[in-house]
């Protein structure tokens, strides 16, 4: 299988996964760039996967479905353009020869799902929408910090070689924040330099690799003593709050929300 990041709007990627002359699209916020990519590559659309209800993820669903007849799959608990097949944690789809596992990852939105392809070659693939970004995570709009931490914990437990297909190119701004949290993290410094080079060439920084994220992403490292201490200091957490994983994670997210 081949992964194609179709740029849209100012910083979205609409992911296409291609097998032979067919493709699946994830989160088509806009139909036009997807239709162009399908035409350019000579592909027919086999299915549309949706992670959550935000307009930049579903805006092109109706037009694409009408243009291609592709079946739409989306989170059971969210308002996705009908008709769609509702999916939730534990569901498995078979698409283009791949097993697709559905994971509930609430936090950014209340019913957000992710799609995991454990048998993809050369390594597993995760489409995580706005839950996990390279160097960051989604804002908590509808869920709670406890839900978001739990969702990220479950994504972090996937195989280290997993290719993480995030829905936005937010990497450099996320890494600026990550360096404010952990200025002495040498893996982070190295990764920043690599991503700066990619962006300078006009290339996506994605997919990210999960085991790299575990080394550099503060939101996957909220229990690391260095991150915990930096957050405690920044937010003025009490000794008791510092021992509370959710309190530390919530303060880290709040810090990022206000970071410029």
Least distance (Å) from Fe ion to the CB of residue 129?
A: 7
56 is catalytic: yes
Structure letter (DSSP) for residue 219: G
Name the residue nearer to Zn ion (CB basis): 53 or 65: 53
187 is catalytic: no
Residue from 179, 186, 163, 170 nearest 134 by CA: 170
Name the residue nearer to Zn ion (CB basis): 111 or 124: 111
Least distance (Å) from Zn ion to the CB of residue 197?
A: 28
Please list every residue from 197 through 256 that binds Zn ion, using CB under 5 A: none
Residue 89 near residue 103, CB atoms below 8 Å: yes
Query: Which long-range contacts does 120-124 make (Cβ < 8 Å, 24+ apart)?
Result: 120/1, 120/163, 121/1, 123/159, 123/161, 123/162, 123/163, 124/158, 124/159, 124/161, 124/162, 124/163
108 is catalytic: yes
Count of alpha carbons within 13 angstroms of residue 147, beta-carbon side: 18
**What is d(CA 257, CA 49) in angstroms, rounded to the nearest whole number?**
28
Least distance (Å) from Fe ion to the CB of residue 12?
A: 6
Of 30, 56, 150, 182, the one binding Fe ion (CB under 5 A) is 56
Name the residue nearer to Fe ion (CB basis): 13 or 116: 13
Of 30, 78, 104, 130, the one binding Zn ion (CB under 5 A) is 130
Q: Which stretch binds Zn ion (CB under 5 A): 15-23, 112-120, 129-137, 227-235?
A: 129-137
240 is catalytic: no
* CB count in 10 Å sphere of residue 32: 12
Residue from 34, 197, 214, 20 nearest 134 by CA: 214
Least distance (Å) from Zn ion to the CB of residue 194?
A: 26
Please list every residue from 48 through 77 that binds Zn ion, using CB under 5 A: 54
In 3-state terms, what secondary structure has residue 135?
Answer: coil
Of 130, 150, 169, 182, the one binding Fe ion (CB under 5 A) is 130
Which of 30, 54, 104, 150 is the catalytic position? 54
112 is catalytic: no
**Please, what's the b/e burial string for 123-161 (b: 16 or more CB within 10 A of its CB; e: otherwise)?**
ebbbbbbbbbbbbbbbebebbebbbbbbbbebbbebeee
168 binds Zn ion (CB under 5 A): no
Chain residues in the site for Fe ion (CB under 5 A): 56, 130
Catalytic residues: 52, 54, 56-57, 108, 130, 168
**Residues at the interface with Zn ion (CB under 5 A):** 54, 130
């Amino acid at each position: 299988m081949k992964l194609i990041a179709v740029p849209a709007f100012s910083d979205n990627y609409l992911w296409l996964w291609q097998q032979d002359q067919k493709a699946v699209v994830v989160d088509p916020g806009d139909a036009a760039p997807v239709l162009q990519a399908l035409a350019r590559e000579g592909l027919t659309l086999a299915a549309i996967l949706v992670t959550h209800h935000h307009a930049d993820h579903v805006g092109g669903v109706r037009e694409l479905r009408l243009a291609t007849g592709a079946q739409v799959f989306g989170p059971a608990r969210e308002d996705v353009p009908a008709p769609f097949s509702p999916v939730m944690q534990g569901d498995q789809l078979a698409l283009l020869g791949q097993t697709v596992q559905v994971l509930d990852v609430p936090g950014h939105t209340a019913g957000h799902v992710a799609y995991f392809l454990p048998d993809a070659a050369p390594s597993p693939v995760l489409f995580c929408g706005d839950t996990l970004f390279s160097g960051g995570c989604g804002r908590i709009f509808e869920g709670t910090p406890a839900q978001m931490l739990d969702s990220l914990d479950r994504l972090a437990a996937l195989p280290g070689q997993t290719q993480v297909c995030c829905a936005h190119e937010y990497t450099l701004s996320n890494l600026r924040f990550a360096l404010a949290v952990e200025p002495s993290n040498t893996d982070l410094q190295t990764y920043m330099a690599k991503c700066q080079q990619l962006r300078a060439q006009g290339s996506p920084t994605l997919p990210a690799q999960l085991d790299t994220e575990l080394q550099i992403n503060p939101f996957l490292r909220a229990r690391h003593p260095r991150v915990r201490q930096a957050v405690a200091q920044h937010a003025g957490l009490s000794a008791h709050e510092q021992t509370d994983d959710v309190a530390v994670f919530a303060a880290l997210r709040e810090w990022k929300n206000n970071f410029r």
